[in-house]
Structure 1
Amino acid sequence: MPFDPPPPTRTATLRRDSRAVAFWLLGVAGLVWIMVAIGGATRLTGSGLSIMEWAPLSGTLPPLSEAEWQRLYDLYRTIPQYQLVNQGFGIEGFKQIFWLEWLHRLWGRLIGLAYAAGLAWFWLRGRIPAGSKPRLLGLLALGGLQGAVGWYMVASGFEADRTAVAPYRLVIHLGLALLIFSALVWTALGLLRPEGRAPAEARPVRRMLKVAAWTLVGAMLAGGFVAGTRAGLSFNTFPLMDGQLVPDGYWLLSPAWTNLTANIAAVQFNHRLLASLTALFAAGAVWAALRRLPAGGARRAVLGFGAAVALQYALGIATLLYVVPVSLGTLHQAVAVLVLAAALVALHALRAAPLPASRVRTA
C-alpha cells in the first residue's frame, strides 16, 4: 500500500504562501531596478522626449510602417529639443533615440503586467497573507500613479525653450520609483521574516544605520537634480570644486531657495555633501556593528551596506572625473538602487526581537 504523506499544517501552508508572495514581490522589485537603470540611460542620451504621445495601449507596438515613422518624426521636429539640439539629424537619428524611450515605456508596461497578474493570481487562489491586501493594493495604485507622473514629467520637455524635462518633475518621478522599490522590498522582507531578532545591543547600530539610510535618500534625490540640471558636466574635479571646498556662486540665484535645485554649483555641491555624509554615517554603522553585533546575518547585512556605499562613492567620483559618460552614469544610478536595497535589508535585519510574554504582562 503506497504511503501518502500527511497534509501540510496550516502554519506550513501560511509560511509557504508568504514566501511565494515575497519572491514575487522581489521579482517585481528587480524589474523596477532595471527600469531605473533604463531611465538613467534614457536621460543621459536625451532620448526621453522622442515619443510625444501618451498611448498606454496603442503605444505598446513600435511604428510598423515608414509612414508612421515619418509621422512621429514630424511631431518630434516641432519641439525645442529638435530645433536647438538635434536639428537635421534625420529620421535615422530619430530612430536611435526613439528605441530607448520605447523600451523604457515597454518595460514600465511589463512591470504593471507582472504586478497586476501576480496579484490577481495570488488573490484568486486565496494565498495572500492576512493583512497584506491593503498594502498590495496600495502598491498597485502607486504603480498607476507612476505612469501618470512619467508622462507629466515628459510633457514638461515640450515647453518653449526647454530641451529636457523639468528637474522638479524628474525628481518627483525618481522619488516615486524609489518609494515603490522600497515598499516592494520591505513588504517582501516582512513576509520572509515577520518578527525581529536583533538583541537590545543592536539599537545604537540601528540608529546610526537609520541616519545613513535617510542621508542616502537625500543624496539620491539630490542626484536627481544633478541629472535634471546636467550639473555633472561641470566642476569635474574631486574633492575640490575649481580649487575650493564650497564653489563660488553657491547663492547666485534669487530667491535663495532656488539655488538648492537650479544652481549648478549648489546642486552638485549638495549631492557631494550628502554622499560624503552617507559614507561617513555608513562607516559609523559598520564600526558600531563590529563592536556590538555578534557574527551572523544582521552583522553581515550592515557590513554589506557599508561595502555598497563605498562602491557607490567610488563610482560617483569616477563618473564625475570622466564627465558623466553614458555607461558610468547609468551604472551609477543603477548601483544607487542596490545601495538602497542593502540599507533596507540591514534595517530589517536589525529589527528588535519581540519582548517575552512575561515582560509584556509585567509592562
Structure 2
Amino acid sequence: MTSFLRSDRSQAVAIWLLVVAAFVLAMIVVGGATRLTDSGLSITEWRPVTGAIPPLSDADWAREFAEYRQIPQYQQVNQGMSLAAFKTIYWWEWSHRLLGRVVGLVFFIPFVVFAIRRQIPSRLYVRLGVIFLLGGLQGAIGWWMVASGLSERVSVAPERLMVHLGLAFALLGALVWTALDAWAGWARQTLPSPWGRGALLLTGLIFVQILLGALVAGNDAGLVYNDFPLFAGRLWPDDYLGAGLWGTLAHSQGAVQAHHRIFAYVLTVVAVVMGWRAWRSSYLAPDSRLLAAGVAAAVVLQALLGVATLMARVPISLGIAHQLLAALTLGLSVAFAWRVRRI
C-alpha cells in the first residue's frame, strides 16, 4: 500500500506546480502591464537565448532604439520619442520575456529532479509533458503576436493577442488542476452528478469571457463607449459592424466591447445561480459549496471592476487589477470543477 500511495500522489510535486502557476500568474500581470503601456513592440527581434541579456552599453541602446524607429508604431504614434522614454517601454517588454524564460526553468529543472527521484505520479507524466510543450509554444506564439505589429500595424493583431493570452490562462488552469491531482491522488470515485458538467461549463464560460476581453484589449475598445450601461447614450454601438463577419467579430471596437458586455451579463447570472444552488445543496461537500460561492463572488466583483475600468478609460492600475482578478476567478472555477467531480 505504501508504494502505491507514493506513486499515486506527491505533495512536493503539487507545491511545485502551484509555484509554477504563481509564476504564470505573474507573467499574465506583467504581460497586461506591457500591453497597457504600449511596450510590446519595443523589442523587434526574437532571440530566445541571447535576448535574455539586455543592452549593456550606449551603443547597444542606440542599436535597439534605431531598430524600433523603423517600425510603424514609432513612425505613426511615437515620433520624436526620447531614448529615456524608449528605455521605459523596453524594460517592460524585456521583463515580460525574461519572466517567460524563468517560468520555463522553474518548470523544467524541478521536473527533471522529481523525475530522477521518481516522485512524480506516473499518471501525470503525459499531462506534464503537454504542459511543457504548450509552455514552449507560448514563446513562439508571443513572437507571432509581436511580429504582426512590426510591418503594417501600430499594434499587435487582436486575434493573435487573444491566442497568446488564452494559452496563458489555459496553462494556468491546467497547472492548478494538475497540482490538485498531485496533492490528492487518483480519484477513487467520481461523482455521477450534473455538478461536474455544470462546473466545467461555468469554467468554459469564464474562459470564453477572458478571450472576449483579450479582443477588447487588442482593439483598445475600452477607450470608446465609456458610459454604462448604454453605448454613448444608445442601446447599441453605432459602429458595431466591421468589414465583414471577421472584421466585426475581431476588429470592430463597438462589436468587441458589446460582446464582452453581453457575455458578462450571461456569465454573472450563471455564476450567481450556480453559486446559490451549490450553497443550498446538501449533496455537495462544504468545501465545494464554499468554492462555488467564491466563484460567484469573484465573477460579480470582476463585473463591477470591469465597469469601473471602462468608465475610468482603462487606467493602468485598474486594467492590471481586472486581468489579475480574471486569472484568480478562473483558478477558483478550476478548483471548483475539480472538487465536485470527486468524493
TM-score range, shorter chain: over 0.9
Give the one of 123, 144, 147 matched to 2:139. 147
| Distance (Å, rounded) in 2 between the aligned partners of 1:128 and 1:60 | 30
Q: Is the 8 A contact 1:216 1:275 kept in 2?
A: no
| RMSD between aligned residues | 1.8
1:316 aligns with 2:309: no
In the alignment, structure 1 residue 183 sits paired with structure 2 residue 174: yes
Question: Residues 19-68 of structure 1: CA distance to partner in whole angstroms, max 9, x if unpaired?
Answer: 11111111101100110111111001000011111111111121110000
1:279 alignment partner in structure 2? 268
Matches of 2:66 and 2:239 in 1, distance apart?
Answer: 41
Match of 1:103 in 2: 95
SS in 1 for 2:10: helix
Asked if 1 retains the 8 angstrom alpha-carbon contact of 2:149 and 2:155, the reply is yes
* 2:53 equivalent in structure 1: 61
Opposite residue 173 of structure 2, the aligned amino acid is: S
Match of 1:340 in 2: 330
Aligned length: 341
Instruction: Report the CA distance shift for 1:102/1:117 in structure 2 as closer, same or farther (over 3 A).
Output: same
Q: 1:346 corresponds to which letter in structure 2?
A: F
Counterpart-to-counterpart distance in 2, 1:142 and 1:253: 33
Residue in 2 that maps onto 1:5: none
Question: What is aligned with 1:93?
Answer: 85
1:6-45 aligned within 5 A: 9-11=2-4, 13-14=6-7, 18-45=10-37
- Measure how far apart 1:341 and its partner are: 0.2
Q: Percent identity?
A: 45
Deviation at 1:352, TM superposition (A): 4.6
Give how far 1:209 is off.
3.1
Partner of 1:264: 253
Indicate if the aligned counterparts of 1:196 and 1:349 stay in contact, CA closer than 8 A: no
Question: Could you tell me how far 1:9 is from its partner in structure 2?
Answer: 3.3
Task: Give the CA deviation at 1:232.
Answer: 0.4
**Which of 62, 69, 77 lines up with 1:70 in the alignment?**
62
- Normalising by structure 2, we get a TM-score of 0.95
Please list every run of 5 or more consecutive structure 1 residues that lacks an aligned counterpart in the other structure.
1-7, 354-363
Secondary structure of the residue that 2:77 maps to in structure 1?
helix
Q: 1:301 to 1:286 in 2, by over 3 A?
A: same
Contact 2:279 2:290 in 1 (8 A): no
Give me the whole-angstrom Cα distance separating, in 2, the residues matched to 1:14 and 1:131. 9
Contact 1:182–1:344 (CA under 8 A) maintained in structure 2: yes
| Structure number with larger C-alpha Rg | 1
Contact 2:288-2:340 within 8 A present in 1 as well? yes
> Residue 10 of structure 1 aligns to which amino acid in structure 2?
S
Conservation of the 8 A alpha-carbon contact between 1:40 and 1:333: yes
Q: Which amino acid aligns with 2:104?
A: G
CA pair 58-199 structure 1, distance change in 2 beyond 3 A? closer
Residue 256 of structure 2 aligns with an amino acid whose one-letter code is V
